[in-house]
Amino acid sequence: MTPTTPLAKHGGPRRAAGPRKRWTPPANAPRRLLTLPDVASYLSMSPWTVRTLVDNGTLPVVKLTRRLLFDQRDVDRLIEHSKETA
């Protein structure tokens, strides 16, 4: 009895060769963490200006990975604190 697909080292079927698929969240999933380009676009600033806000301690950054991630609530809080009354 010969199998139709070659078996891997541990007995299971081999995966097809080629690039692995990356996991992507569903399109309608709510996002709490934003990337640097997302925050720059949200605040209508350049990414370098957002980096300056991070360096000054004005905008906190989430350190989960090597990428700069920002909590949506912190960005909204920055906007609320920056409002001036006439």
Question: Between these two residues, 18 and 44, which has the higher pLDDT value?
Answer: 44
Among 46, 66, 67, 70, residue whose Cα is nearest residue 58: 70
77 falls within a domain: yes
25 falls within a domain: no
pTM above threshold 0.75: no
Q: What is the pLDDT of residue 28?
A: 84
Please give the structure tokens belonging to residue 11: 């007995």
Q: For the chain, how many structural domains are there in total?
A: 1
- Give the domain extent around 70: 33-82
- Residue 2 clears pLDDT 60, i.e. is over it: no
9 falls within a domain: no
5 falls within a domain: no
17 falls within a domain: no
Q: What's the mean pLDDT in 7-34?
A: 76
Q: What is the pLDDT of residue 4?
A: 62
Per-residue pLDDT tens digits for 40-84: 999 999 999 999 999 999 999 998 888 999 999 999 999 999 998
